[in-house]
Amino acid sequence: MSTAMNDVMIEAHGLTKSYGKPGTRIRVLDGVGLKVPRAGIHALLGPNGAGKTTTVRILATLATADSGTARVAGHDVVADRRAVRRAISLTGQFAAVDETLTGEENLRMMARLSGLTRTRARRRAEELLVRFGLTDAARRQARTYSGGMRRRLDLAAGLVGSPEPGVFFLDEPTTGLDPRSRRELWQVVRDLAGRGAAVLLTTQYLEEADQLADRITVLDKGRAVAEGTPETLKSRVSGHRLDLVLSSREAYLRLATRAVHHSPETLTLGLPTDGTAAHARALLDEIDPHRTDIDRFSVRSATLDDVFLALTTDRTEAPAHV
C-alpha cells in the first residue's frame, strides 16, 4: 500500500494537549504522531486516559492541540477547519440518530442539512440504505433497530454530505454491540476502506484491532509507545509464549521479572519462546532444573493482549501481590 504524500489522508506530528489550571495541568498528549493512507485502517490502542479520544477530537477539529501539526485530506486542521469538516465523518461511541424518525427520514434530514435538494436528498438516502443493508428497515422508526443497525445507520448518516471516499474517525464504534453485530460492523468498515476511505479507529477490543487494522499505534500516558502492523507488534513481545502454572507463590515471584504475561490470581506466567519444542524444553530445564516449581505448561501464539499488556503496563508493577 502506497504511503506517498498524495496518498496520506491523515497526518499528525508532535501533537500535545494539556487540561486543567496552571500549576495543576495534566498532559494528555505528549508528542503523538501518525499517518493513515488512503484505503487504510489505522487503530489507536491504549488504556483509558491514554489519549485516544483526544487525538481524534483534534484531528476532527473538535479540539485544538497546544502544539504540533495535523492535516486531514490535505487540509490543515486549524487553518482549513471548514474544509476538514467537509471531508470527514465522525462516529462516536453511541449512535447519533433520531429514534423517532425512520431510517430513511434520518438520512434525508441529514442530506437536507448538508445542503442537498429534496430530490437529491431522497436519492442519496436510497443509495445509502442499499449500501448499508437497511432497505428492508427504511420505513421503520430507528428506535426499533438493533444496536448493529443503529451503528450502520449512524455511519450512513456520516456519509450523506461528505465526498467519498473521505476520511472516517470511528471512536470505539462497537461499544455495547453483541458479537454478531460487531462482526457485521467490521465488514462495513472493511468495505469503507475497500472503497478508498481512510479510517482511524479507536477501540478497547484488541481482537477488533487485530481483525481490521493495517497498522496500529499503541498509546500510553499520552505517548505513542509502539507503531506497526499487528504481526510486527506481536513479534515484539515474542511470536510465541510459554505459559507456566507455578506450584507456589515463591516460585511465581522468583520468575515474574522474566515474564511478559502475569496472572497472580492463577500463579501463571508467560515467557517468550520461539515456539519450538527444543526451546521450550531448554526453558523448562533452565528455570525449573529440579522439576518442582512448575505444575503444568502450554505454548501459545502471542496476541495483541500480550502486546497491550507488555507495552502499557508499568513493568515494575508486574509481579503483583498474590
Instruction: Give pLDDT, residue 118.
Output: 95
- Which own/partner contact pairs does 253-257 have at CB distance under 8 Å and 24+ positions apart? 253/319, 253/322, 254/293, 255/287, 255/293, 256/318, 256/319, 257/318, 257/319
The CB density around residue 53, as the number of other CB atoms within 10 Å, is 19
Q: Which pLDDT tens digit goes with each residue over 117-169?
A: 999 999 999 999 998 899 999 999 999 999 889 989 998 888 887 667 789 99
d(CA 165, CA 131): 14
Q: Which pLDDT tens digit goes with each residue over 85-121?
A: 989 999 877 667 899 999 999 999 999 998 899 999 9
d(CA 232, CA 190): 21
d(CA 27, CA 73): 27
d(CA 237, CA 72): 32
Cβ(152)–Cβ(188) below 8 Å: yes
d(CA 250, CA 235): 30
The CB density around residue 169, as the number of other CB atoms within 10 Å, is 24
d(CA 114, CA 125): 12
- Which own/partner contact pairs does 282-286 have at CB distance under 8 Å and 24+ positions apart? 283/242, 284/242
Helix (H, G, I), strand (E, B) or coil at 40: coil
Residues of the chain with pLDDT under 70: 1-6, 94-95, 162-163, 237-239, 313-322
Instruction: Give pLDDT, residue 102.
Output: 97
Local structure of residue 317 (DSSP, 8 states) = G
Q: Model-level pTM? A: 0.75
**C-alpha 228 chain-centroid distance:** 13
268-273 and 261-263: which strand pairing?
Answer: antiparallel
Instruction: Give pLDDT, residue 2.
Output: 38
Cβ(256)–Cβ(319) below 8 Å: yes
| Three-class SS of 111-177 | HHHCCCCHHHHHHHHHHHHHHCCCHHHCCCEHHHCCHHHHHHHHHHHHHCCCCCCCEEEEECCCCCC
User: Which set of grid coordinates corresponds to residue 198?
Assistant: 481512510
